[in-house]
């Protein structure tokens, strides 16, 4: 595999009840599944305590899926394909040990992509870690075709056609106001 391979067209892993993330600060890791079967990763994230009256709790938890009540997020990487998963779950998917001499002091925290690694644990040891990417790289690679408008858009107004491009437009607006 060449280092110049473009991962911007890799789709996110199937995740029921996915939450919106800010593309400015989010990073994803591209995982490849070389096996003939889908890999299902049930990653423990813990439950969020909700305080207040029963009415307030019901209002907050109304949008939660069953996995949020259990404290587990599920990702599915299809057979013979690549998928993006948020980088915060890398240690749950694969725990690695660096085999290089300069990392002998703390071999489990090395993240140098040029070092040789041995997988020592995790829920997806059969997956191949291809590369960590900034989500803003994926956003900048998308081409959004503007919808026909009666008047030209004002600065900060982006024509949107679905929820995904609406989230990207909100993130772009937040960046422009900083």
d(CA 30, CA 67): 23
Residue 43 φ/ψ, nearest 5 degrees: -100, 130
Enumerate the domain spans of the chain.
Answer: 143-178
- Residues 16-49 have pLDDT tens digits of 556 666 667 778 889 999 999 999 998 887 777 7
d(CA 54, CA 152): 48
How much is the pLDDT for 156? 58
Question: Considering only CA atoms, which of 22, 12, 10 is closest in space to residue 169?
Answer: 22
The pTM for the full model equals: 0.59
33 neighbors 127 (Cβ within 8 angstroms)? yes
- Residues 94-116 have pLDDT tens digits of 998 999 999 888 888 887 878 88
CA distances to 33, 86, 103 from 30, in Å: 10, 9, 24
Q: 3-class DSSP state for residue 53?
A: coil
Q: Which residues contact 122 (CB under 8 A, 6 or more apart)?
A: 91, 92, 93, 94, 95
Asked if residue 152 has pLDDT above 50, the reply is: yes
CA 60 to chain centre: 23
């Amino acid at each position: 595999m060449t280092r110049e391979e473009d991962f911007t067209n890799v789709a996110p892993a199937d995740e029921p009840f996915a939450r919106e993330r800010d593309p400015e600060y989010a990073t994803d890791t591209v995982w490849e599944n070389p096996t003939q079967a889908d890999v299902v990763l049930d990653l423990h994230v813990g439950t969020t305590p909700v305080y207040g009256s029963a009415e307030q709790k019901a209002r907050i938890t109304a949008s939660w899926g069953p996995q949020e009540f259990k404290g587990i997020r599920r990702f599915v990487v299809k057979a013979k394909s690549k998928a993006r998963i948020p980088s915060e779950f890398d240690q749950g998917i694969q725990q690695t040990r660096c085999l290089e001499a300069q990392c002998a002091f703390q071999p489990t925290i090395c993240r140098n992509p040029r070092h040789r690694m041995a997988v020592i644990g995790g829920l997806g040891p059969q997956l191949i870690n291809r590369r960590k990417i900034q989500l803003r790289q994926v956003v900048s690679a998308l081409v959004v075709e503007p919808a026909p408008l009666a008047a030209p858009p004002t600065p900060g107004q982006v024509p949107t056609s679905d929820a995904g491009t609406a989230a990207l437009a909100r993130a772009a607006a937040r960046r422009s106001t900083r």
